[in-house]
């Protein structure tokens, strides 16, 4: 069975030019589940992003320790697509796996790393650090 992130990578590899890849990235963002209005809080906002980005997580206990279910949204189309990729990569995964997964390899493989503005790259790093921070917190809460 192919995971969501594997499917996204395969789809990107089929697209030859960057206009098509950006359109696909925007489509991924449009396919995100609706983000609840009541979750658009300052606490959910990701600092360090030029656009507005909201990320929330819910910790669930699983066989391999805590798992994070993630929801996210942005007010910018391309950034919303980046959120969709991060959710495909990290959501519903054990916290330990989240900390062990390098998103840079995925973004390099689909070529996004070289095609993001410095501002978007900084925002992407902020989103990843936020998710990794939530994973560390989930592990710490479980150990306590």
Q: What does residue 36 show for φ and ψ, rounded to 5 degrees?
A: -60, 130
Task: State pLDDT tens for residues 92-142.
Answer: 999 999 999 989 888 888 888 788 888 989 999 999 999 999 999 999 988
Report in angstroms the alpha-carbon separations of 107 from 13, 82, 89, 138, 139: 12, 10, 11, 25, 26
**How many folded domains does the chain comprise?**
1
The domain in which residue 90 lies consists of: 4-143
- 33: domain CATH number is 3.90.1010.10
Burial 3-30 (b: 16+ CB within 10 A, else e): eebeebbeebeebeeeeebbebbbebbe
Catalytic, 26? Answer no
- Backbone angle region of 71, left / alpha / beta, with phi > 0 → left and psi within -120 to 50 → alpha: beta
Q: What is the pTM of this model?
A: 0.93
Which has the higher per-residue pLDDT, 142 or 12?
A: 12
What average pLDDT is seen over the chain? Answer: 92
Place of tokens 């959710």: 87
Give yes or no for residue 1 having a pLDDT over 50. no
Identify the active-site residue in 49, 89, 110, 131. 49
Burial 34-64 (b: 16+ CB within 10 A, else e): ebeeeeeeeebebeebebebbbbbebeeeee
Task: State pLDDT tens for residues 71-90.
Answer: 999 999 999 999 999 999 99
CA distance 5 to 112: 14
At 60 the three-state DSSP class reads: strand
98's tokens: 């989240």
């Amino acid at each position: 069975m192919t995971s969501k992130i594997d499917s996204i990578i395969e789809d990107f590899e089929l697209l030859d030019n960057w206009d098509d890849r950006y359109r696909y990235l925007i489509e991924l963002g449009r396919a995100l589940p609706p983000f609840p209005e009541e979750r658009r809080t300052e606490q959910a906002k990701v600092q360090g992003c030029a656009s507005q980005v909201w990320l929330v997580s819910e910790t669930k206990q699983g066989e391999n320790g805590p798992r994070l279910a993630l929801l996210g949204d942005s007010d910018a189309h391309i950034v919303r697509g980046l959120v969709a990729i991060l959710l495909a990569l990290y959501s519903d995964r054990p916290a330990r796996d989240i900390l062990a997964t390098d998103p840079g390899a995925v973004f390099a493989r689909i070529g996004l790393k070289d095609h993001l503005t410095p501002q978007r790259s900084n925002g992407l790093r902020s989103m990843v650090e936020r998710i990794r921070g939530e994973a560390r917190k989930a592990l710490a809460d479980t150990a306590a």
